[in-house]
């Protein structure tokens, strides 16, 4: 059997951190759907995630509302009683969380750029895969078959 989830999305609010017996951080990721609705608008799923122990401390220290994060984990279902009613919860338990942009990058992205200035100019997190969605020039000689 396999229970594996991989998500990439943005935090909808700052993580809710609780040190308790076992440190945990709860947060919600907004994950875009791969299509647009009939009005041409991008829709998203809002997925609850929980991280434990050291991973929870890192989430609390380095992630905040609006930041892009990757989560690798598993689906968990649980239930509890609240006001005499049974409440059912489905969430992702994070085995690992990747911080996909620097903590203050959101503030930089929201500021207008001056003409001729690029964001990638002095970004230490810039990588060569930034324009990976563009066309790739591959000839038949480059293929191994």
110-119 pLDDT tens trace: 444 444 444 4
Looking at 30-39, 70-79, 80-89, 109-118, which range is the least confident one? 109-118
Q: Rounded CA gap, 136 and 139, in Å?
A: 10
Residue 140 pLDDT > 60? yes
What letter does residue 120 receive in the DSSP assignment? G
Residue 71 pLDDT > 80? yes
Is 3.30.70.600 the CATH classification of the domain at 1-103? no
Between residues 17 and 138, which one has the greater pLDDT? Answer: 17
pTM here is 0.68
User: Alpha carbon of 63 to those of 7, 99, 102, 104: distances in Å?
Assistant: 15, 7, 9, 10
Q: Rounded CA gap, 1 and 105, in Å?
A: 39
pLDDT of the residue at 102: 77
Residue 70 pLDDT > 60? yes
Between residues 119 and 47, which one has the greater pLDDT? Answer: 47
């Amino acid at each position: 059997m396999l229970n594996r989830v991989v998500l990439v999305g943005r935090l909808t609010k700052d993580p809710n951190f609780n040190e308790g017996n076992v440190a945990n951080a709860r947060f919600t990721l907004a994950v875009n759907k791969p299509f647009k609705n009939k009005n041409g608008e991008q829709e998203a799923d809002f997925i609850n995630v929980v991280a434990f122990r050291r991973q929870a401390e890192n989430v609390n220290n380095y992630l905040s509302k609006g930041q892009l994060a990757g989560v690798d984990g598993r689906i968990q279902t649980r239930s509890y009683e609240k006001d005499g009613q049974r409440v059912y919860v489905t969430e992702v338990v994070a085995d690992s969380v990747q911080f996909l942009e620097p903590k203050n990058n959101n503030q930089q992205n929201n500021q207008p750029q001056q003409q001729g200035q690029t964001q990638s100019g002095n970004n230490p997190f810039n990588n060569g895969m930034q324009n990976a969605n563009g066309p790739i020039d591959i000839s038949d000689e480059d293929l191994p078959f």
